[in-house]
C-alpha cells in the first residue's frame, strides 16, 4: 500500500514541479494532468482490496473492491478532461495571437 502511495506522492510533486518550472503552456497543462492522474490513482488505491474482483456481480465472487471511489474517480476524470479541453483551447488561441507557447515570451510581448 505504501509503495503505491509513494508513487502517488511522486506523481503529485512531479505535476507541481512541471507547473512551476516549465515555460511551455502545453507542458504546464500536462503537469496539471499528471497531478490529476495521481489523485485518480489514489482513489483507485483506496478502493483496492487484496484479491478483490471488479464490482460487477455477474458471476461468483468472494471479495469485491469498493465501488464508491471508482464512481468518484469517473466524475473526477470527466471534470478534469473538460477543464483540459478549455485550457488547450486557450493555448491554441494564445499561440495564434503571439506565435509562441512560451509564457515568458507571452508576458514580454504584452509589454
| CB closer to another protein, 51 vs 110 | 110
83 binds another protein (CB under 8 A): yes
85 and 29 Cβ atoms separated by less than 8 Å:
no
- Residue 72 beta carbon to another protein: minimum distance, rounded to whole angstroms: 6
Q: How far apart, in whole angstroms, are the C-alpha atoms of residue 110 and residue 68?
A: 47
Backbone dihedral angles phi then psi of residue 24, each to the nearest 5 degrees: -80, 130
DSSP 19-53: HHH--BHHHHHHHHHHHHHHHHHHHHHHH--TT-B
Within 85-104, the residues that bind another protein by CB under 8 A are: 85-94, 96-98
Q: Give the footprint of another protein on this chain (CB under 8 A).
A: 1-2, 5-6, 8-10, 12-13, 16-17, 19-21, 25, 28, 32, 35-36, 39, 42-43, 46-47, 54-58, 64, 66-72, 74-76, 78-83, 85-94, 96-98, 106-107, 110
Amino acid at each position: 500500500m505504501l509503495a503505491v502511495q509513494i508513487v502517488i506522492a511522486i506523481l503529485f510533486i512531479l505535476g507541481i514541479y512541471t507547473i512551476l518550472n516549465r515555460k511551455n503552456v502545453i507542458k504546464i497543462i500536462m503537469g496539471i494532468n499528471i497531478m490529476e492522474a495521481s489523485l485518480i490513482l489514489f482513489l483507485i488505491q483506496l478502493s483496492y482490496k487484496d484479491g478483490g474482483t471488479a464490482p460487477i456481480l455477474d458471476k461468483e465472487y468472494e471479495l469485491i473492491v469498493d465501488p464508491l471511489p471508482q464512481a468518484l474517480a469517473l466524475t473526477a476524470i470527466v471534470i478534469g478532461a473538460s477543464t483540459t479541453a478549455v485550457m488547450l483551447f486557450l493555448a491554441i488561441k494564445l499561440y495564434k495571437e503571439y506565435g509562441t507557447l512560451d509564457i515568458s515570451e507571452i508576458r514580454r510581448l504584452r509589454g
